[in-house]
Amino acid sequence: MPKEPDFIHDLNEQQKRAVRHTEGPLLIVAGAGSGKTRVLTYRIAYLIQQQKAAPDDILALTFTNKAAKEMKERIQQLIGDEARKLWMGTFHSVFSKILRFEAEKIGFTSNYSIYDMEDSKNAIKQLLRENNYDPKEIRPRTIQRLISDAKNELIYPDHYQEKFVHSTLDDITAKIYGQYVERLKHNNAMDFDDLLVKPIELFQKNEDVLEKYQDRFKYILIDEYQDTNHAQYKVTNMLAEKYKNLCVVGDDAQSIYSFRGADIHNILDFKNDYEDAVEIPLEQNYRSTQAILKAADSIIKNNESQLDKTLWTDNDMGDTITVLDNYDERDEANRVANYIKELKARKGYDYNDFAILYRTNYQSRVYEETFRRKGIPYQLVGGLSFYQRKEIKDVLAYLTLLINPDDDTNLVRIINEPSRGIGNKSLHDLMARARSTNQSLWQVLKNVDQIDLYKPAENSVKDFVAMINELKNDLKNNEKLINVTKKLLEKSGYMKSLVEENSPKSMTRRENILELENAISYFEKNNNNASLSSFLQEISLITDTDKYDEEKPAVTMMTVHAAKGLEFPAVFVVGLEEELFPVGSRNNEEVNIEEERRLFYVAITRAQEVLFFSHCRSRYKYGEEQRKRRSRFLDEVSSDVVRTETGSSIKQDKDRFSEKNSSSSQNGDTRIEYDWKKPLYKKKNRSSNNTQVYYDNPDEDPFQVGAKVEHNIFGQGKIISRSGEGEKTKVVIYFKERQQRKTLMLRVAKLRVIG
């Protein structure tokens, strides 16, 4: 056996154990900042250096392209160019690559399209219309979410009706789900969920294919295992079944993606799935000060479902955490901006050393306005993606047709973009012909002579088909992608239409398209045998975090979800108020407080040296100012490490949400006492002839957030927020059957509490 490499001495004892354990199932419980990326990269390098495996015997799965790229570069530094042969990337990128090789075995071609969220939504919207549903009443995004949830749980259309049809919405979803699956196959397309589900179908239907990839990937490593969903769990278990050399790395305390199907039990139950699995905890934190680590530990200890570990660090105690008590969100943004300038001057930080973390994207607006006014540069992670802009989506739709003309969704998008005389009536007739003859729209367009179509529209269709065929031939003749793209933009008239419009908006769109040309040119120069298919696949799998530029001299603003895996010298966690962080109930669903607490833990552990918590006493929502209560999490943080701006201890009420400090309402719900000095309710005497009853105490009022109520017209619903006082009290109610939110004046709504 080769001598152990020198790089093994860079690790602590637990990290060495994890790297040296090469055979059999292994669970590495890696606390925040404990060097898990180093352990993963060193373990892969060690497997190759010790000749346990060739590079292409190893499959490494990550959750971001950025993480995969960083790991591959580190491994290359350790062992050289052999690292290029590794199969390493996100679940979606790796399995989409496998599907390119094997797609024909499940009824697709290798040039299948990958639908992003908007493509998927548009396909569902079209199906709703074909079934005579109004997309304004039955929201395509809602149907899309329900279908996505079902796919990730491996619940297929023929079983959906059995499991989930409890309402009109479920019934519609069951109907659309089956048609959507058929439409995708008809279009030779897969959505993001299919990139995980279809490999399972492939392996189940083709045992020889499964065995081929089991033998190919003798060692499998998975990063961020706590974020895997059921489909990811299933497909990796299938691949690992033969050799069982499955190494998973994760931290149950950072499981924050249940809303997209992640199942924390995958990591909690790993040792039940693999009885001979070895568990190695990584508990030494290299990132944060002792004060920050103590704050994180005091928070996460309140959760019941967790693996046993205690983080520690050799770092200094560091500064205490400062709590900012603000009047409203504008006050909060101004004070955060002032602290950034003060810390920059006092500690010598650069702007990219700062991060502002919030629970929801809409919170960024007031910071953007404030920073622009104060001249503070910033970068926003999680806004509208470059590849989601209309003009970019249009050009990509054209390019997609060159390799997959049967993709009806993309064809409909650009057949009359820019306008070429194929109006809605003509398009409707063409699509009706396609449906009635079970052909793709492209097949109908190629034979437009067989249809009684408006003559000018028919001529436009012929010109369109001729253009697409000419560009397809250019690709077949190995013309450069950038040249084909430029020719497409000229022949289609797309760029000309933007120039002729000559508005600031059209000029911005033109500049964006020129930037897309730069991206295509760069891709072509930096990839051997670059193909249009591989380019479209790469950009379809780009995530928000992949676009984060850590070198950009600007303050970073992002949600806590987007921040996972990153670190900053100074962090501001803002909006720490009840119903914001932790978030309030959504879509009639109860909030998972343990997951919200894990999310707060993730926010805390992004900080290396300086940490601020911030909350507001009031905040505007739905156009009205609402009083806010500070987050319960501020009462859970160790009082040893948090201080007010004046340096005094913050007043905490750790029992604020316990049973002894809550009361039961008339509807049987348990609610938290309000602790505002200023009353939220006006006193008014009750009388027999006065139906407008007000309450001296909030706990007497049954119409609180979370209460289930009934309205004479809208039916049953749930109060999701309320605002105002006395006669001006308003409630926002989500009526599930109607899929609508309604804002009603409480004094005239005639609501009835139903339990």
Residues identified as active-site: 36-37, 223-224, 254, 606
- Contacts of residue 208, defined as CB under 8 A and 6 or more positions apart, other chains included, come to none
The three-class DSSP label of residue 586 is strand
Contact by Cβ (8 Å): 184, 122: no
Alpha-carbon span 237 to 217, nearest angstrom? 12
- Contacts of residue 560, defined as CB under 8 A and 6 or more positions apart, other chains included, come to 256, 357, 358, 359, 573, 599, 600, 602, 603
- Cα end-to-end span (Å), the chain: 70
Alpha-carbon span 265 to 272, nearest angstrom? 10
Pairing of the two strands 354-358 and 568-573: parallel
Alpha-carbon span 311 to 316, nearest angstrom? 14
For 506, the enclosing helix (H) or strand (E) is helix 504-525
Pairing of the two strands 730-735 and 740-745: antiparallel
Greatest alpha-carbon pair distance for the chain in Å reads: 93
37 is in an annotated binding site: yes
- Contacts of residue 614, defined as CB under 8 A and 6 or more positions apart, other chains included, come to 323, 324, 326, 332, 335, 336, 572, 573, 574, 575, 576
CA distances in angstroms from 371 to 335, 379, 382, 443, listed in the order given:
11, 11, 17, 53
- Contacts of residue 555, defined as CB under 8 A and 6 or more positions apart, other chains included, come to 340, 351, 352, 354, 355, 356, 371, 376, 377, 378, 379
Q: Which of the 8 DSSP states describes residue 2?
A: P
Tokens of 83: 């690292």
35 is in an annotated binding site: yes
CA distances in angstroms from 540 to 19, 343, 361, listed in the order given:
34, 39, 22
33 is in an annotated binding site: yes
Contact by Cβ (8 Å): 196, 92: yes
30 is in an annotated binding site: yes
For 399, the enclosing helix (H) or strand (E) is helix 390-403
Output the 3-class SS for 60-123: EEECCHHHHHHHHHHHHHHHCHHHHHCEEEEHHHHHHHHHHHHHHHHCCCCCCEEECHHHHHHH
Q: Helix axis angle, 494-501 relative to 390-403, nearest 10°?
A: 160
Alpha-carbon span 495 to 352, nearest angstrom? 36
User: Within a 10 A sphere around the Cβ of 570, how many other Cβ atoms?
Assistant: 22
Q: Helix axis angle, 481-492 relative to 504-525, nearest 10°?
A: 160
Which residues are part of a known binding site for ATP? 30-37
Which residues are part of a known binding site? 30-37
